[in-house]
Amino acid sequence: MEIQLKNTDQDRKAHLNAFLQLLVERFQPTRIISFGKLSLQNKLKGCFASKKIVEQHFCLLICTESCTRVDYEIQEFVNNHYQNGQITIIA
């Protein structure tokens, strides 16, 4: 019996939007600018199973009103809370 879980683009978009809402609530940025996105798609086919793997990497610029550096704190928050791909932060 084969169990397949497929994440559609709509699912990924919903997860990203929910995560961005958490990010906004936590750090209150003035702007979030997405300046890069890398999508990598692999298709594995064999006699026993076939699988499609999609990996996404987003690059975000986050502007805050704070004078102190919070980029390390935000990146740690991202690494711990977003599990559907990778996000690189510049703050």
- Give the pLDDT confidence of 47-88 residue by residue, as tens digits: 887 888 788 899 999 998 888 888 899 999 999 988 888 888
Got the DSSP string for 40-67?
EEEEEE-SS-EEEEEEEEEEEEEE-S-S
**Mean pLDDT for the chain overall:** 84
pLDDT of residue 14: 86
pLDDT, average across residues 37-47: 86
32 contacts 59 by C-beta, under 8 angstroms: no
pLDDT of residue 25: 93
pLDDT of residue 61: 92
pLDDT, average across residues 11-38: 89
Amino acid symbol at 81: H
